[in-house]
Amino acid sequence: MLNITEQARVRTVALNRPEALNAFNKRQFDEVAEAFLAAKADAECRVLVLTGAGRAFSAGADLGPTTDYQPVHGLDGMLHAIVDFPKPFVLAINGLGVGIGATLTGLADFVFMAQSARLRCPFSTLGLVAEAGSTRTFPALMGRQRAMWFLMASEWMSATQCKEAGLALEVFADDGFMDAVHEKAAYLAGLPSESLTSAKRLIIDASERGRLKTVIAAENAALAKLSGGPANLEAVAAFREKREADFSNL
Amino acid sequence: MLNITEQARVRTVALNRPEALNAFNKRQFDEVAEAFLAAKADAECRVLVLTGAGRAFSAGADLGPTTDYQPVHGLDGMLHAIVDFPKPFVLAINGLGVGIGATLTGLADFVFMAQSARLRCPFSTLGLVAEAGSTRTFPALMGRQRAMWFLMASEWMSATQCKEAGLALEVFADDGFMDAVHEKAAYLAGLPSESLTSAKRLIIDASERGRLKTVIAAENAALAKLSGGPANLEAVAAFREKREADFSNL
Amino acid sequence: MLNITEQARVRTVALNRPEALNAFNKRQFDEVAEAFLAAKADAECRVLVLTGAGRAFSAGADLGPTTDYQPVHGLDGMLHAIVDFPKPFVLAINGLGVGIGATLTGLADFVFMAQSARLRCPFSTLGLVAEAGSTRTFPALMGRQRAMWFLMASEWMSATQCKEAGLALEVFADDGFMDAVHEKAAYLAGLPSESLTSAKRLIIDASERGRLKTVIAAENAALAKLSGGPANLEAVAAFREKREADFSNL
């Protein structure tokens, strides 16, 4: 369910379940983890670009019925593979990003967004809480007030707002978006690889990588506690019954 | 000396000594500390909004003659109660904020400012130094250069400048300012409470809360050392004698 | 090779090898270190301004043939003297800043740039990696994405871009640039010295100063490993042979 291509030492990994707006299911967590591990091991790959096929980047975690697929890496394994990825990691947000489709931006080295793309962290409206290290990465990128609002209020942020906030490095026109991203990525891929990996290892050092994994674990523990709780159940019920959720007594 | 109201699970605490531009005296430190502790304990309160009655938010610490009031919490107790407050803390800067009326912004989760409001940290012109954790919170919000200038240079920052710098999340028109703030606060109060407190606990974790208290203690020690020192005495004398202070030999 | 002047308790230290665009050689590292140590010890000096004579701020490290000059402080000693400087350190970027002429901005308390000045970190195109603590200071000032791009991509940043990113506090017209900087510096120098040094010591505390020195050491170790390596040799050869460097097989 990934579409992987390579050009000019830039490996492009596209989430490829457009019919589900590229929502992550257990299998996709594993496949993305494997893609990062393979790109790390392959000297021919200098830069990894993650994007989505079709009109969305990713609608988040798949809330559909769980299959009997046995995960190898899981969400945690995917996030650790990203945190430990030593080469430039470019995120090309081609369309909407929701939930983990939004929080992944905090783990990317460079985020480029299509003009019409937008991000949303709907955790609070689901009775849940943010993940993917975003409770640490977002305040560092945007400042605590903006990050807390984005993580708590479940509102959309446009590409322009993301750039102003520091969550995206640049916004490109929808037309030719991937070409513009590839130009940036190919430029990086043409520079001495060891200079780039040395710089990344200094900017995100072992202590910061360890800290991110600790935060990811704390987020997952909070998520596990809230999942299936009263607010989460009310949110799911309201969604099914096509009504507004009522959290006033919770 | 506080005016406390509640609507839609939003508790609004207004500093209410408009005749003194809501300057904090020992009694007010205690009352605000109590307000935060009570709001924490009361499950009916989901969001706390702190603001000022009248045209100012707060003119800072009251420099008037000290009464024989025996403080229970003191400045430190108030700051600790704020640092440990687990629910969303909204600061509604309705008018001027000076000294601790400005540095408190660094401890708020969301700062909204009226268009005509402005902030000033006059510590250096008083021969003193900043408090309320601002030497840590301001660089994180604004970047070190802007924070250091604001904390050292005793200049005013307009509401617009505060928003640009990341010290305020949004600026609303003076007209209808509190209505606009309450709309935001009520929106948060309608979301699942545990999702909000979980997110806040992850974003400002125990280690960061401890670090803030250490910084507050270091600031207070520096303040105690400078208070009553030559520059502070010259500043007070110049103020009384209605002349420019001369720090050139200090 | 420095031009040192003092006015209104502001000491101005100008790199003074305009014929070499004020590139730092071993002697200049030592002289700047001495200037910071002397300014720290001299109670009459309240603020230090570092700038460049002529049209450039500094073209970076001098790549010319090494003389038999025996360094006393070296690059590390200069950086440590700056990190430990307890008074306000103003950087007046009067013209281009390249390499360490750009990364020093991260260690300054206040950076003012002339409108036509611009900065560049060409480390990756030289097969090298950033120094002067910039892998820590730049992400804190600009956010990680912008900092990583600036440190990896070897592109120019204009004065306006530096201000927008938080790397410079203000941009002044080229005409009268040093007068505008001196006005700011003299204003600070007129404030109580102990208030300023207390604020600086709180904002950059002993733990942060220690952390910066650790980062500087890690950067220098990475630099030593890359220096003379294949990419660095190819960059030097390409420069000599006036051709594009080709890093594709490295």
Mutate to test the interface with B, among A137, A144, A233 (most CBs of B within 10 A): A144
A222 lies in some domain:
no
A72 lies in some domain:
yes
Averaged pLDDT score across all residues of chain A: 96
CA distance A79 to C43: 53
pLDDT at residue B249, rounded to an integer: 80
**pLDDT band at A249; cut points 50, 70, 90:** confident
Asked if the C-beta of C10 comes within 8 angstroms of chain B's C-beta atoms, the answer is no
CA distance A61 to A65: 12
A219 lies in some domain:
no
What CATH number should be reported for the domain holding residue C68?
3.90.226.10
pLDDT at residue C129, rounded to an integer: 97
- Evaluate whether ipTM surpasses 0.90: yes
Structural domain for A27, as ranges: 2-175+194-198
C186 lies in some domain:
no
Mutate to test the interface with B, among C194, C201, C208 (most CBs of B within 10 A): C194
Whole-model pTM: value is 0.96
Asked whether the beta carbons of residue B149 and residue C88 sit closer than 8 angstroms, the reply is no
pLDDT at residue C248, rounded to an integer: 86
Mean pLDDT of A182-202: 97
Provide DSSP, C123-167. TGGGT----TTHHHHHHHHH-HHHHHHHHHH--EEEHHHHHHHTS
pLDDT surpasses 70 at B88:
yes
pLDDT at residue A68, rounded to an integer: 80
Helix, strand, coil share of chain C (percent; to 5): 50, 20, 35
Torsion, Cα C202 C208 C213 C216, to 10 degrees, reads -120
Asked whether the beta carbons of residue B195 and residue A135 sit closer than 8 angstroms, the reply is no
pLDDT at residue C63, rounded to an integer: 65
pLDDT at residue B66, rounded to an integer: 66
Q: What would the two tokens of residue B202 be?
A: 């992850």
Tokens 């570092």 sit on residue: C50
Residues A2-53 have pLDDT tens digits of 999 999 999 999 999 999 999 999 999 999 999 999 999 999 999 999 999 9
**What are the chain C neighbours of B222 within 8 Å (beta carbons)?**
198, 201-202
Residue of B nearest to A245 (CA): B191
pLDDT at residue A92, rounded to an integer: 98
B69 lies in some domain:
yes
Q: How many residue pairs bridge chain A and chain B with CB atoms within 8 Å of each other?
A: 90
Residues 123-182 of A with CB under 8 A from C: 140-142, 166, 168-169
Number of domains in chain B: 1
> For each successive 10 residues of chain C (250 residues), what is the average pLDDT?
95 97 95 98 97 97 76 96 98 98 98 98 97 98 97 98 97 98 97 97 97 98 96 94 90
CB A49 within 8 A of CB A181: yes
According to DSSP, the residues that pair with B6 across neighbouring strands are B11
pLDDT at residue A63, rounded to an integer: 65
C199 lies in some domain:
no
CA distance C192 to C183: 17
Q: Three-class SS of residue A40?
A: helix
Asked if the C-beta of B247 comes within 8 angstroms of chain C's C-beta atoms, the answer is yes
Who among B142, B191, B199 is closest to A130 (CB)? B199
A99 lies in some domain:
yes
Residue A154 vs residues B163, B191, C59: alpha-carbon distances, Å: 21, 10, 47
* Rounded percentage of chain A residues whose pLDDT exceeds 90: 95
pLDDT surpasses 90 at A67:
no
Residues B17-73 have pLDDT tens digits of 999 999 999 999 999 999 999 999 999 999 999 999 999 999 999 866 667 889 999
**pLDDT band at A195; cut points 50, 70, 90:** very high
pLDDT at residue B117, rounded to an integer: 98
A183 lies in some domain:
no
CB C220 within 8 A of CB C76: yes
